[in-house]
Amino acid sequence: MDRDAPVTPTLTVLGELVVDLLPVPGADAGPEGTAPHYVARPGGNALNVAVAAGRLGTRVALLARLGTGPMAPALRRHAELSGVDVAGMVAASEPVSLAVVGLGPDGSPDYGFHVLGAADWQWTDEELAAVLPEGTAVLHVGSISSWTPPGCEAIARLAERLAGSGLVSVDPNVRPMLAGGPVGAALGNDRDAVRARLDRLVAVADVVKVSAEDLAWLEPDTHDLDDAAQRWAARGPALVLLTDGGAPLRIARPGRPLLHRSPPPVTVVDTVGAGDSLAAGLFAGLLGAGVTGRGELEGLSDDDLLAVVDDAALVAALNCTRVGADPPTAAELAAAREQRVAGAG
């Protein structure tokens, strides 16, 4: 091994693994209508982002606590099949998290979670120090593990240590059932605590992806999404992407005009994993453009950034044409991009 050889920049994704139970479209619920049919699929924000990035050919490592249960090997294998480095998966004695998913008429998901005492919330400083890959250029944290104790404290300390040495990305991905109310309280969460934990992460973030749904919970009085995107960019990140379902993306950078970008139209099967696919597409594009630090991100022209965002939006759109979190490969993205350019011509 050549110790002087340059280390390939790595996207490191840190977060939870979740088994998603998705309803089978058109499946009979049985004569009494009380036993809907579900299929178990690997999921969770971190796993979805890592898999999507791996399929796009990005060097990606997944840091996750792999709990017990019959689906645990499938979660690991799902990541491996997409080229994800799973050396950072920590064997844990707690159970794997489970989400039962319902789908609305527009394909939007509704979640019922079974996560009390799960492996994902138990990170320690020692565990993270032992598995953080060399060459981490982007650290992406977010979703439930980033604001649920006790592990969220270790995650925040890691983000603070890495700030300035690479890009730190944060996605709140708020799940109201787990962030407040009786279930949230059982996990150690309430609105004020979750806000404070996310404020701590955003303070050191270079990139933030936040949804209109997140804002509706975090800032109930917010009605102007343009203003919200610019306010969040003023909090410290170099780039804020504000998503709003099928509505235009808002792209905010400190001291620059707000940009809007419409996602490509597709026939939506469901939107499970769409935001995670968007994030992965963004990271793949940034690393592909040689952006591995804040200075390079700030120096990116609007045109170059919009090209990256357009690709990321296309990755998310392609994911929405399939059941569950099933992002495209690099070849599928390239074919869709060519088709889109040909259609525009």
Beta strands in 135-248, from DSSP E residues, in sequence order: 136-142, 167-171, 207-211, 239-243
250 pLDDT more than 60: yes
Q: Which of 216, 254, 212, 214 is nearest to 232 (CA)?
A: 254
As a whole number, the mean pLDDT across the chain is 93
1 pLDDT more than 90: no
pLDDT of residue 3: 54
pLDDT of residue 218: 97
- Measure Cα distances from 83 to 46, 180, 252, 326, 336 in Å: 15, 36, 32, 14, 21
pLDDT of residue 298: 97
pLDDT of residue 6: 64
Task: In whole angstroms, give the CA distance from residue 22 to residue 40.
Answer: 6
Judge whether 88 and 116 are in contact, CB under 8 Å. Answer: no
Task: In whole angstroms, give the CA distance from residue 304 to residue 307.
Answer: 5
H, E, C per residue of 257-278: CCEEECCCCCCCCCCCCHHHHH
Judge whether 197 and 206 are in contact, CB under 8 Å. Answer: no
- Measure Cα distances from 243 to 251, 307, 313 in Å: 9, 17, 10
Tell me the sheet residues that pair with 163. Answer: 166
pLDDT, tens digit, 9 for 90 and up, residues 91-143: 999 999 998 888 777 777 778 889 999 999 999 999 999 999 999 999 999 99
- Using DSSP's 3-state secondary structure scheme, residue 30 falls into coil
pLDDT of residue 325: 87
Indicate the pairing of strand 249-252 with strand 239-243: antiparallel
Burial of 219 (0-12, 13-18, 19+ CB in 10 A): middle
202 pLDDT more than 60: yes
Task: In whole angstroms, give the CA distance from residue 231 to residue 242.
Answer: 11
Q: What share of the chain is helix, strand, coil (3-state, %, to 5)?
A: 40, 25, 35
- Measure Cα distances from 198 to 150, 192, 253, 299 in Å: 14, 10, 19, 26
Higher pLDDT, 245 or 240: 240
Residues 257-280, mean pLDDT to the nearest whole number: 94
315 backbone dihedrals φ, ψ, rounded to 5°: -60, -45
Which are the contacts of 116, defined by CB distance < 8 A and separation ≥ 6?
Answer: 183, 186, 187
**Stated pTM of the model:** 0.93
Task: In whole angstroms, give the CA distance from residue 249 to residue 251.
Answer: 6
